[in-house]
Amino acid sequence: MSDYYAVLGVSRDASTEEIKRAYRKLARQHHPDVAGADSAEKFKDIAAANDVLSNPEKRRAYDMGGMPGMAGGGAGAGFGFSDIFESFFAAAAGGGGQRGPVSRARRGQDALLRIDLELSDAAFGVAKDIEVDTAVMCTTCQGSCCQPGTSPTTCDVCGGRGSVQRMARSFLGQVMTTTACAACSGFGTVITSPCHECNGEGRVRTRRSVRVNVPAGVDDGTRIKLTGQGEVGPAGGPPGDLYVEVRERRHPVFARRGDDLHCTAEVPMTAAALGTVLDLETLDGEQEVDIRPGTQPEEVVTLRGLGVGHLNGNGRGDLHVHVNVAVPTKLDEEQERLLRELATLRSEERPEARLAPAHPGMFSRLREKLQGK
Ligand SMILES: [Zn+2]
Ligand SMILES: [Zn+2]
């Protein structure tokens, strides 16, 4: 992938305003309508760089390591610039001016697929084979659209130019207008015997298997770009790109927040008071969780590095175990006697209400509860 900052010729700390200015200047210089069809790739690079750097969210993701094709979250991310590019091309094909015939070959469409991942796949990364319904080059005609042994013939209406000139009357007087030749759709040639296999499309629909390497750290909505794995274009045109959007299945135990995981572990009152070791089945297999003596309700024990892998770097998030102290609701006679004995020993038969000062967080939590969040 190109360095977008270099493409636009701006420094890495350039303001959005500077980026927009650089983009407008370059886009004017390299627009295919101005600089010719050879500049199409360059123009596309410029548009792609602007698409990412002028959007603060995308720019941040790019700055964090610039994973190729990672457009995190957000509906529609990653598609904008190619649509714009396509529309420029369409304008170039049909627009005025003196141009030669248009090529039948056009770039294929981008495709979007969704895959469901387990939390552990997102945490560690995974290679997945997915089935894609797509268009591939027709092997019978090799994308030429012609029945083997035949070739396109020059259009006799426009003589192969792809366009016809006409004198037209307008409020400016007599003007010469150039329009695409209707007989050959501007191609300059006519296919008289289209390939039977693909009906002269140069491509056929098929189902094929594509391997997606999902990096660790992807999240719900992350799009992975597979360059050139989209549909092959008509008449042997270059393929579009395939975007794979990740959906993460909800895990029965672990909730994900960023790259950290959270779970709740219930600890009996006695174990919380005396301390214990819990065996917890984590994404990395069974781990011991140290519950120190005197652990309070809602205390959090953090297991470092047992969360989800960071997308654009090394290391992983943490696993936070929220302790829920379980108070017994049913006591048999013996247990009740022992607990009463303990209460007596601690002079807690009728404890005084020890009031803690209210803290601001209490109210927002209460409000969330009332609103059912
Ligand atoms: Zn064919
Ligand atoms: Zn023609």
The predicted-structure confidence for 196-243, as pLDDT tens digits, reads as follows 999 999 999 999 999 999 999 999 999 999 999 999 999 989 999 999
Judge whether residue 304 has pLDDT over 50.
yes
CB of 319 closer than 8 Å to CB of 251: no
CA neighbor of 143 nearest in space, from 207, 200, 228, 188: 200
Judge whether residue 102 has pLDDT over 80.
yes
Q: Strand 319-326 vs strand 126-137: parallel, antiparallel, or unpaired?
A: unpaired
pLDDT band at 369 (very low <50, low <70, confident <90, very high): low
CATH 2.60.260.20 positions along the chain are 103-152+191-249, 255-370
Rounded to a whole number of angstroms, the distance between the first and last alpha carbons of the chain is 42
Distance (angstroms) between ligand 2 centre and the Cα of 147 equals 20
pLDDT band at 35 (very low <50, low <70, confident <90, very high): confident
Judge whether residue 289 has pLDDT over 50.
yes
Distance (angstroms) between ligand 1 centre and the Cα of 203 equals 6
pLDDT band at 99 (very low <50, low <70, confident <90, very high): low
pLDDT band at 329 (very low <50, low <70, confident <90, very high): very high
CA neighbor of 40 nearest in space, from 93, 110, 112: 93
Distance (angstroms) between ligand 1 centre and the Cα of 237 equals 13
Tally of residues, the chain: 373
Distance (angstroms) between ligand 2 centre and the Cα of 164 equals 8
Distance (angstroms) between ligand 2 centre and the Cα of 142 equals 24
Q: pTM score > 0.85 for this model?
A: no
DSSP character for 164?
A: E
- Nearest ligand (C-alpha, residue 201): 1
Distance (angstroms) between ligand 1 centre and the Cα of 123 equals 44
Distance (angstroms) between ligand 2 centre and the Cα of 101 equals 8
- The number of beta carbons lying within 10 Å of the beta carbon of residue 66 is 16
Give Dmax over CA atoms of the chain in angstroms: 111
- Nearest ligand (C-alpha, residue 194): 1
Q: Measured between alpha carbons, how far is 120 from 253 in angstroms, rounded to an integer? A: 12
CATH 1.10.287.110 positions along the chain are 1-95
* Residue given tokens 């007596």 in the structure block: 344
Judge whether residue 62 has pLDDT over 90.
no
Percent of the chain with pLDDT over 70: 86
Q: Measured between alpha carbons, how far is 138 from 197 in angstroms, rounded to an integer? A: 7
- Nearest ligand (C-alpha, residue 181): 2
How many CA atoms lie within 13 Å of 186's alpha carbon, on the beta-carbon side?
Answer: 17
Give the residue ranges of DSSP H helices in 118-256. 119-124
Fold of domain 103-152+191-249: HSP40/DNAj peptide-binding domain (2.60.260)
Distance (angstroms) between ligand 1 centre and the Cα of 138 equals 5
Using the CB atoms, write b or e for 129-145: b if 16+ within 10 Å. eeebebbbbbebbebbb
Judge whether residue 116 has pLDDT over 80.
yes
Which secondary structure element, helix H or strand E, spans residue 333, and what is its range? helix 333-345
Fold of domain 1-95: Helix Hairpins (1.10.287)
Distance (angstroms) between ligand 1 centre and the Cα of 234 equals 10
pLDDT band at 142 (very low <50, low <70, confident <90, very high): very high
- The number of beta carbons lying within 10 Å of the beta carbon of residue 50 is 23
Distance (angstroms) between ligand 1 centre and the Cα of 105 equals 13
Distance (angstroms) between ligand 2 centre and the Cα of 231 equals 28
Q: What average pLDDT is seen over the chain? A: 86
CB of 177 closer than 8 Å to CB of 168: yes
* Residue given tokens 């654009």 in the structure block: 312
DSSP character for 19?
A: H
Q: Measured between alpha carbons, how far is 122 from 136 in angstroms, rounded to an integer? A: 31
* Residue given tokens 């549909």 in the structure block: 231
CB of 123 closer than 8 Å to CB of 216: yes
- Nearest ligand (C-alpha, residue 152): 2
Per-residue pLDDT reduced to its tens digit, 78-91: 333 444 444 344 44
Distance (angstroms) between ligand 2 centre and the Cα of 265 equals 75
What number is the average pLDDT over the span 72-79? 36
Judge whether residue 96 has pLDDT over 50.
no
Q: Strand 319-326 vs strand 260-268: parallel, antiparallel, or unpaired?
A: parallel
Spelled out in words, what is the top-level CATH class assigned to the domain 255-370? mainly beta
Distances (CA, A) of 234 to 29, 109, 136, 183, 191: 29, 10, 9, 19, 14
DSSP character for 194?
A: B
What number is the average pLDDT over the span 258-286? 96
Distance (angstroms) between ligand 2 centre and the Cα of 154 equals 8
Distances (CA, A) of 368 to 36, 57, 256, 364, 373: 59, 28, 20, 6, 5
Q: Measured between alpha carbons, how far is 222 from 77 in angstroms, rounded to an integer? A: 9
- Nearest ligand (C-alpha, residue 180): 2
Residues contacting 68, CB < 8 A, separation 6+ = 1, 225, 227
Per DSSP, what are the bridge partners of residue 212?
Answer: 128
